[in-house]
């Protein structure tokens, strides 16, 4: 473990940021405990939708400042993003609920149901907290578990009046709805943004894992936030496999892979002050476990005190990926959409499924947005019955933004164009742009398997339906009794479309997949199956450390079993699954000992 560089000369405000599952909450909680036990008065604020701060400390916290038992000087508060978003929606919709037709109210509600609404509503709560001196003046340090994204900050810095812009009918659907009615809060936002960008008052702690995908995402986040003036940034590489495990072939291979990723750090990350924190053999739940996260000398005592150490049996119903492909093949040609948050292995799962279907003699089209084109190069002409079309997301998004700016933007003034340009940088807009490319190949799934790596969320699908009104226009034009199928209907048809949610056996990725499942349900889409990727529980382990670590997966695996009707599980592999041989191994039946059920 390296020196805790990120704690040196710590300013008053500290923001922990990073993609889901990298350990932001654990690190924020551990840091809060360490500072409080060193004599500081600390307030820990969570705005993470996947927050489990209360669970970590074993106390109910919620949206009120709560003293943490056993840690004098430490208080915590959880800002519930969903609750904030619900209140924000109600403030906008309730005044007009009785004045507008039900269809318009439904459209407004959907417009205010995406990730942008949640982020902006959470930022509203965050700004109010920063502005409340009476509430925070006694604290030497205020730690935030999850910083606002660069997109949210840019939205709140835009010129002009959002409400009048929307009222004039100039707005689009992805992010302008969430900012409606917020002009009155500009003063509070300006003060909050000034705090964020002042290095004397604020530090950004960028949390990542020693994995190439996680490091790329960290570099992207850093670029966004540095552009906005957040210059005091520190890198924390969390969950690095400790030394001394070389006798376990799997552990040795993973350690080599991690070191290779760290040796190739993006230049912007390599230039940051860096702290390295080793992976623990147990979950960081409880104050002793949090202390051990920042003090390795305490690890052995915590491990002895826990019951984690014996790898759990898999819940009933878990199978290997081959069994999932068996069911897909039996049902015949369909659209297979692999979905999930970044870094969970969607591209790998999509490629493995497509390869196995083609090797069974089915005609398959694999459409991927993977920016690393090695899958296309590896699979392209070498596999009979399999064709690959790689979509370039950056080009699709750039082309889409250019078209919208040239059409809608041509009628706007400079302030209006600035608002529209930022709106077109939203994640929802990105999904719309890429899905327009996807839609050109979707119709082919009537006669062959089409496997999509990455697909739009339920919220985006509903926005696509609302903005183009395509589905409703088709319905309106058809005579009574006529047969028709719109794209949305095809996606809702469980025989024609198979949605596969990909996740990891960890708390945050599973919660994110659960939220995605709820999101899809609003669009009338039910996932066909879940895939749990890179599981230690499903791997062959000899190291006591890894066996203890596998035991920590049990709660997440049980939750997946509750949420999914079908679950395939893939073990953590010694080598990256790149190339036809490695990908084919993913759809081989797992050894019987790897799938022991409770």
What is the model's pLDDT at position 427?
A: 65
Residues marked active site are found at 21, 23-26, 48, 508
Mean pLDDT, rounded, for 198-207:
91
176 pLDDT exceeds 60? no
Q: For residue 343, give both structure tokens.
A: 């870094």
Bridge-based pairing state of the strands 66-67 and 74-78: antiparallel
Quick: pLDDT tens for 504-532.
Answer: 998 888 988 898 898 888 888 899 999 99
What is the model's pLDDT at position 173?
A: 43
Strand partners, 571: 535
Quick: pLDDT tens for 493-504.
Answer: 889 899 999 999
The segment with the largest mean pLDDT, out of 75-89, 363-377, 540-554, is 540-554
Percent of the chain with pLDDT over 70: 79
Quick: pLDDT tens for 113-128.
Answer: 766 677 777 777 777 7
Quick: pLDDT tens for 78-88.
Answer: 887 778 778 87
Confidence of residue 159 (pLDDT cuts 50, 70, 90): very low
What is the model's pLDDT at position 313?
A: 77
What is the model's pLDDT at position 342?
A: 75
345 pLDDT exceeds 70? yes
Q: What is the pTM of this model?
A: 0.80
Strand partners, 46: 78, 145
The alpha-helical segments, DSSP class H, found in 180-248 are 186-196, 212-227
Q: For residue 559, give both structure tokens.
A: 């939750």
User: How far apart (Å, rounded) are the C-alpha atoms in residues 315 and 324?
Assistant: 16
What is the model's pLDDT at position 85?
A: 78
162 pLDDT exceeds 70? no
Query: What structural domains does the chain harbor?
Result: 5-10+18-305 (3.40.50.300), 318-390+443-594 (3.40.50.300)
Quick: pLDDT tens for 379-388.
Answer: 645 789 998 8
The phi and psi torsions of 209 (rounded to 5 degrees) equal -110, 160
Quick: pLDDT tens for 447-476.
Answer: 899 998 876 666 566 655 554 444 444 454
What is the model's pLDDT at position 532?
A: 97
Contact call for residues 425 and 151 (beta carbons, < 8 A) = yes
What is the model's pLDDT at position 446?
A: 83
User: How far apart (Å, rounded) are the C-alpha atoms in residues 421 and 432?
Assistant: 15
Q: Where are the beta strands (DSSP E) in 213-341?
A: 233-240, 274-278, 318-319, 335-339
Mean pLDDT, rounded, for 224-253:
88
Among 531, 532, 530, 534, smallest CA distance to 573 is for: 534
Q: Tell me the average pLDDT of the chain.
A: 80
């Amino acid at each position: 473990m390296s020196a805790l560089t990120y704690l040196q000369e710590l300013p008053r405000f500290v923001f922990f940021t990073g993609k889901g599952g990298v350990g932001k909450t654990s690190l924020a909680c551990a840091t809060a405990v360490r500072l409080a036990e060193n004599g500081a008065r600390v307030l820990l604020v969570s705005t993470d939708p996947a927050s489990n701060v209360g669970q970590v400390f074993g106390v109910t916290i919620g949206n009120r400042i709560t003293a943490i038992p056993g840690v004098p000087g430490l208080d915590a508060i959880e800002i519930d993003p969903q609750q904030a978003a619900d209140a924000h929606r109600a403030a906008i919709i309730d005044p007009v609920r009785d004045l507008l037709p039900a269809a318009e109210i439904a459209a407004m509600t959907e417009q205010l149901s995406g990730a942008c609404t949640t982020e902006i509503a959470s930022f509203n709560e965050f700004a109010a907290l920063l502005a409340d001196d009476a509430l925070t003046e006694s604290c030497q340090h205020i730690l935030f578990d999850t910083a606002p994204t660069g997109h949210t900050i840019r939205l709140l810095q835009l010129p002009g009046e959002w409400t009048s812009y929307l009222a004039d009918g100039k707005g689009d659907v992805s992010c302008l709805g969430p900012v409606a009615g917020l002009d009155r809060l500009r003063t509070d936002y300006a003060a909050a943004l000034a705090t964020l960008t002042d290095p004397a008052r604020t530090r950004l702690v960028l949390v990542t894992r020693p994995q190439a995908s996680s490091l790329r995402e960290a570099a992207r986040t850093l670029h966004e936030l540095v552009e906005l003036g957040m210059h005091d940034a520190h890198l924390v590489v969390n969950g690095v496999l400790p030394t001394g495990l070389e006798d376990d072939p799997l552990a040795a291979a993973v350690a080599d892979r991690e070191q290779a990723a760290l040796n190739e750090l993006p230049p912007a990350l390599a230039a940051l002050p860096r702290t390295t924190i080793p992976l623990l053999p147990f979950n960081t739940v409880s104050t002793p476990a949090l202390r051990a996260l920042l003090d390795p000398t305490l690890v052995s005592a915590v491990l002895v005190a826990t019951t984690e150490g014996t790898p759990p049996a898999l819940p009933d119903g878990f199978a290997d990926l081959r069994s999932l492909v068996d069911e897909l093949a039996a049902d015949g040609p369909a659209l297979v959409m692999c979905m999930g948050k970044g870094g969970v292995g969607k591209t790998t799962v999509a490629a493995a499924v497509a390869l196995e279907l083609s090797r069974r003699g089915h005609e398959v089209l694999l459409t991927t947005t993977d920016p690393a084109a090695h899958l296309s190069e590896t699979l392209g002409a070498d596999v009979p019955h399999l064709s690959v079309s790689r979509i370039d997301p950056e080009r699709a998004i750039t082309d889409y933004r250019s078209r919208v700016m040239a059409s809608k933007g041509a009628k706007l003034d400079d302030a209006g164009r600035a608002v529209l340009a930022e709106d077109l940088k939203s994640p929802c807009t990105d999904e719309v742009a890429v899905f327009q490319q996807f839609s050109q190949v979707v119709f082919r799934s009537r006669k062959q398997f089409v496997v999509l790596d990455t697909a739009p969320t339920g919220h985006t699908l509903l926005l696509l339906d609302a903005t183009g009104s395509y589905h409703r226009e088709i319905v309106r034009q058809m005579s009574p009794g006529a047969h028709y199928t719109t794209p949305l209907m095809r996606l809702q048809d469980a025989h024609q479309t198979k949605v596969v949610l990909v996740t990891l056996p960890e708390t945050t990725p599973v919660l994110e997949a659960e939220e995605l499942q709820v999101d899809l349900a609003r669009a009338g889409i039910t996932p066909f199956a879940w895939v749990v990727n890179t599981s230690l529980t499903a791997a062959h382990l000899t190291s006591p450390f890894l066996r203890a670590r596998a035991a920590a997966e049990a709660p997440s695996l049980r939750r997946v079993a509750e949420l999914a009707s079908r679950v395939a599980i893939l073990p953590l592999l010694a080598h990256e699954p790149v190339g036809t041989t490695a990908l084919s191994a993913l759809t081989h039946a797992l050894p019987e000992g790897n799938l022991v059920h409770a």
